[in-house]
């Protein structure tokens, strides 16, 4: 592909704006993540362009539920088996935290670092478990914190 | 299978996929499916690759329905590549 002239680049910019406007105004609107993918744009550049379009056409898109990807949708390539496993791990994390809040030495704040999670990841793993992508080291630490052998613990989570 | 044979199979599959999507899905719905958009972008990347023998012209000739669906969904032709910075020129 040869070097484009300034006029051609400007024409492409106009076409891109028209396309993104069509994506934003279709029913239901295309989520922001999907628009970025389709246009091959970085987050910041895409948001700035969408803000321009919002101002030009008097529409509200950014921040609206339509611009966000559905939370219940599993990432590409994953099945309900992963969602079930994440749910089980979330249950065990909740049990560990509750145990700490009652009488054990672990409290709410001590559980997360012990598993290798930060506070935000702990909340996500418990409250929206399908969205937390557990690492093997976190699973092993969770099992050991619960006093279980990691292999047996993971098998139990996968089969129950 | 020869390289030429591989391309034939790919073109047939793309045409069948295009027919399936055209018959059963609106472009608006395809835009909401990350897996389908990923498939469309993969074909575009293949056409853009300098090492690939698959060109937009071959694809238009042998998989016309797929190209039509691509245009309806992405609102541009397969050979249209957006230059960096076009949005803020």
Segment A101-135, tens digit of pLDDT: 554 445 556 788 888 888 888 888 888 888 889 99
What is the average per-residue pLDDT within A86-92? Answer: 90
pTM over 0.90: no
Contact B28 A27 (CB under 8 A): yes
Contact A34 B28 (CB under 8 A): no
pLDDT of residue A31: 92
- Residue A54 pLDDT level (bands cut at 50, 70, 90): very high
Tokens at A66, concatenated: 């339509």
Q: Which residue of A has its CA nearest to B49?
A: A1
Task: Judge whether B62 is closer than 8 Å to chain A, CB to CB.
Answer: no
């Amino acid at each position: 592909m040869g070097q484009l002239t300034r006029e051609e680049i400007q024409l492409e910019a106009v076409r891109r704006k028209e396309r993104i406007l069509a994506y934003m105004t279709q029913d239901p609107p295309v989520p922001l993540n999907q628009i970025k993918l389709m246009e091959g744009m970085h987050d910041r550049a895409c948001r700035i362009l969408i803000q321009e379009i919002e101002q030009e056409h008097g529409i509200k898109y950014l921040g609206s539920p339509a611009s966000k990807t559905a939370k219940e949708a599993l990432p590409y390539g994953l099945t309900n088996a992963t969602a079930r496993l994440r749910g089980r791990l979330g249950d065990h994390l909740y049990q560990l935290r509750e145990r700490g809040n009652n009488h054990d030495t672990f409290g709410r704040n001590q559980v997360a670092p012990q598993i290798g999670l930060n506070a935000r990841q702990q909340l996500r793993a418990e409250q929206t478990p399908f969205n937390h992508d557990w690492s093997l080291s976190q699973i092993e630490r969770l099992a050991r914190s619960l006093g279980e052998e990691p292999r047996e613990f993971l098998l139990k989570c996968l089969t129950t | 299978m020869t390289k030429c044979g591989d391309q034939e199979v790919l073109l047939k599959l793309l045409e069948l996929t295009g027919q399936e999507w055209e018959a059963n899905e609106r472009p608006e719905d395809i835009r909401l499916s990350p897996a389908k958009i990923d498939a469309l972008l993969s074909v575009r990347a293949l056409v853009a690759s300098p090492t690939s023998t698959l060109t937009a012209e071959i694809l238009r000739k042998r998989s016309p329905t797929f190209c039509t669906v691509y245009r309806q969904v992405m609102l541009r032709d397969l050979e249209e590549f957006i230059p960096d910075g076009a949005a803020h020129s």
